[in-house]
Amino acid sequence: MPIAHLDVDAFYASVAVRDRPELRGRPLVVAGSHRRSVVLTASYEARPFGIRSAMPLHQALERCAELVVVPPDMERYRAESKEIFALLRSRGHVLEPLSYDEAFLDLGDIAFDEAKSLVAIFRAEVRRERGLSISAGVACGKMIAKIASDLAKPDGLLAVEPGEERTFLAPLSVGRLWGVGPKTQARLNERGVVTIADILTLDEPTSIELFGSSWRRMRDFAMGIDRRVVSAASETKSISTEETFEYDVSDRRRLFELLLAQAGELAEDLRRENLWARTVGIKVKFSDFSLRVRQTSLREPTQSVKAIYRAARSCLERARIDGAPIRLLGTRVAALDDRASNQLSLFAPRH
């Protein structure tokens, strides 16, 4: 059955331009205001300057003197995402969100040409109703639909016909495959595996050496075989929040205050999503960019600010920072469960 991957183009930046038309056509990034902020999204007008997501803001400003910096508005993005996904669900199709701005859509048991026409209608509706453009890929597997939508950006639609998957994938960089990150790609390139087609030339021992126990799955992917289905019940695996300090912090009291604020933010997110957390963890990045991560499991799942804070504080104490200057501090909740409410004791804290 056909599957679509839909991705709003430069989501945060596009929302800013839609709401402030005077910014249209100008190089723009969405980023915080302090000196260690990073670019969350760059408009397509900013990208010819070499500006990309996750780039330090000061570098982006050095590359483009006319760059417009817009502060992020996460509540606005959440609300916009809900409106877009509601439009995509309006005909009863199964939607699997991946983030605020992208999702898979199961198009049902229809002809492939009909699937392409349906996705074109969805794209037009989002543009008309929300004022935003969507790039889309259509295929008979999730991975190829995702790759196709990436190649269709910006504001395009690319469909890979049934039976054409292997031909479509063959010349593409091996880094396009799911499960191949930058480090793995570099290692594969060193061994002469540059394109996806190169994977299919490997014998079994070499495949095992390069991909380990996942070698069969990677070979299937390279042939365009992907049997995963679109699932509306795709669970949120974790929720996190973090703060990069404008200046390094070593004051324990200030760090504990931030952990409390982050616990409050995460508890609010859990209640909003009707989820309970069984694991709490922290991430510490020091001034030399080294990382230290600690986590702990809870006796029972929680949505409690106090419980999250106590666990995060305990993790920070176990991290033994010993007054070292800290650049970033984050808190994460994981092992999330939407059925935990049935398991909570009568006197479990709820706020």
C-alpha 257: how far from its chain's center? Answer: 28
Q: How big is the chain by its Cα radius of gyration, in Å?
A: 23
Tokens encoding 99 = 């983030």
Residue 252 phi, psi (nearest 5): -60, -40
Burial group, residue 290, by CB count within 10 angstroms (0-12, 13-18, 19+): exposed
Catalytic residue among 80, 96, 102, 165: 102
Of residues 236, 217, 206, 198, the one with CA closest to residue 337: 236
Determine the Cα–Cα distance for residues 196 and 190; give it in Å rounded to an integer: 14
C-alpha distances out from residue 27 to 17, 61, 131, Å: 11, 11, 19
Strand-pair partners of 158: 137
Determine the Cα–Cα distance for residues 134 and 14; give it in Å rounded to an integer: 11
Q: What one-character DSSP code corresponds to residue 97?
A: E
Strands 68-70 and 39-42: unpaired
Residue 205 phi, psi (nearest 5): -60, -40
Determine the Cα–Cα distance for residues 7 and 98; give it in Å rounded to an integer: 10
- Told to judge if 246 belongs to the known catalytic residues of this protein, a careful annotator would answer no
Determine the Cα–Cα distance for residues 77 and 84; give it in Å rounded to an integer: 10
Helix (H, G, I), strand (E, B) or coil at 301: strand
C-alpha 158: how far from its chain's center? Answer: 22
Report H helices in the chain: 11-19, 57-63, 74-89, 112-130, 142-152, 165-169, 182-190, 196-199, 204-211, 215-222, 252-273, 305-318
Q: Could you give the residue numbers annotated as active site? A: 102
